[in-house]
């Protein structure tokens, strides 16, 4: 069976592959370092082959000259990286929350290698990372991401105009929300430990002979773990809402191109 492809069809496929490849590189879970590169490349090629069959994408034109085509490929790659990076925002937020909680409890020194990032993260940071990963997969976050990428071709063209200042500004704004989301996740535990520190401060004024520092170490760990367990359902619900809102965030990224 012979398949004849025109140069325009090959150009459109390469542009689609550039955007999808950028998403695969920066997307959560599949873009992590422990995923073998051949799997990433194969997934990008297969997904691009599926998307290029969509009539609206197939009908898109591609630049003929070498320089405009090269610039379009770079633009699609950067757009894909921006989409995947914004999708990973919630993962960055939970790592921030884990660092805040570990610092408050006193476990920040107990850092071990995180296989998702190949970096030393606090134990509680890895706990939150596992929670958001399981929530992401349980709520079909991967399907949301693929659907958003497919929809992005209708909103952002296969040309250099896809890389606009509005897209970069929107991506930067989403990144700035990482600290805000991390504080929202860590707030119940941080508030509990702050109240405990205030109470210990009052006790130390009433009983100066009491060694508050030695008492605060096990007390913060116990109260922190109890606060984590008590806020577990609310944390999962919050993460679920963020995963559900991810498609609107990704489409808003390219809507004003």
Which pLDDT band, with edges at 50, 70 and 90, does 253 fall under? confident
Quick check: is 114 in a domain?
yes
Q: What pLDDT was estimated at residue 5?
A: 61
Burial 3-26 (b: 16+ CB within 10 A, else e): eeeeeeeebbbbbbbbbbbbbbbb
Quick check: is 156 in a domain?
yes
| Structural domain count of the chain | 1
Nearest to 26 by CA among 250, 181, 186, 254: 250
pTM for the model:
0.79
Which pLDDT band, with edges at 50, 70 and 90, does 160 fall under? low
Torsion of CA 27, 32, 36, 38, to 10 degrees: 20
The most confident of the ranges 20-24, 158-162, 163-167 is 20-24
Asked if the model's pLDDT at residue 257 lies above 60, the reply is no
Asked if the model's pLDDT at residue 34 lies above 70, the reply is yes
Q: What pLDDT was estimated at residue 250?
A: 81
Quick check: is 237 in a domain?
yes
Q: Which residues form the domain of 59?
A: 7-255
**For residue 187, what are the CA distances in angstroms to 84, 110, 178, 192, 228?**
27, 21, 14, 8, 11
Nearest to 116 by CA among 104, 131, 138: 131
> Any idea which residue has 């550039």 for tokens?
18
Contact (Cβ atoms closer than 8 angstroms) between residue 135 and residue 239 = yes
Helix 66-87 to helix 165-206 angle, to the nearest 10 degrees? 20
Token pair belonging to 44: 């990008």
Asked if the model's pLDDT at residue 1 lies above 50, the reply is no
Which pLDDT band, with edges at 50, 70 and 90, does 162 fall under? low
Which pLDDT band, with edges at 50, 70 and 90, does 66 fall under? confident
179-222 pLDDT, tens digit per residue, is 788 888 888 888 888 888 788 778 777 777 777 777 777 788 88
Dist CA 37 CA 98 (whole Å): 28
Contact (Cβ atoms closer than 8 angstroms) between residue 70 and residue 11 = no
Quick check: is 2 in a domain?
no
Among 173-177, 192-196, 250-254, the least confident range: 173-177
Quick check: is 1 in a domain?
no
Token pair belonging to 70: 């090269």
Nearest to 182 by CA among 94, 115, 64, 256: 94
Q: What pLDDT was estimated at residue 2?
A: 45
Q: H or E element: which one contains 82?
A: helix 66-87
Which pLDDT band, with edges at 50, 70 and 90, does 47 fall under? very high
Dist CA 198 CA 185 (whole Å): 22
Tell me if residue 151 falls in helix, strand or coil: helix
Quick check: is 34 in a domain?
yes
Cα 134–chain centre separation = 13
Asked if the model's pLDDT at residue 17 lies above 60, the reply is yes
């Amino acid at each position: 069976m012979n398949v004849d492809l025109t140069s325009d069809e090959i150009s459109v496929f390469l542009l689609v592959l550039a955007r999808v490849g950028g998403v695969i590189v920066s997307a959560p879970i599949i873009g992590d370092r422990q995923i073998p590169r051949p799997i990433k490349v194969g997934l990008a090629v297969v997904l691009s082959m599926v998307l290029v069959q969509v009539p609206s994408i197939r009908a898109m034109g591609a630049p003929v000259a070498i320089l405009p085509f090269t610039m379009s490929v770079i633009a699609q790659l950067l757009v894909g990286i921006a989409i995947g990076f914004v999708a990973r925002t919630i993962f960055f937020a939970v790592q921030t929350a884990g660092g805040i909680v570990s610092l408050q409890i006193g476990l920040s020194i107990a850092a071990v290698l995180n296989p998702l990032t190949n970096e030393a993260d606090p134990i509680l940071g890895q706990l939150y990372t596992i929670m958001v990963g399981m929530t992401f997969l349980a709520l079909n976050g991967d399907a949301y991401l693929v659907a958003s990428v497919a929809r992005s071709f209708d909103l952002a063209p296969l040309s250099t105009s896809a890389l606009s200042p509005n897209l970069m500004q929107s991506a930067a704004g989403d990144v700035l929300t990482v600290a805000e989301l991390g504080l929202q996740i860590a707030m119940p535990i941080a508030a509990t430990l702050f109240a405990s520190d205030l109470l210990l401060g009052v006790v130390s004024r009433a009983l100066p002979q009491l060694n508050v520092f030695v008492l605060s170490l096990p007390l913060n760990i116990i109260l922190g773990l109890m606060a984590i367990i008590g806020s577990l359902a609310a944390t999962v619900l919050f993460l679920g809402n963020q995963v559900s809102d991810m498609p609107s965030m990704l489409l808003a990224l390219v809507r004003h191109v």
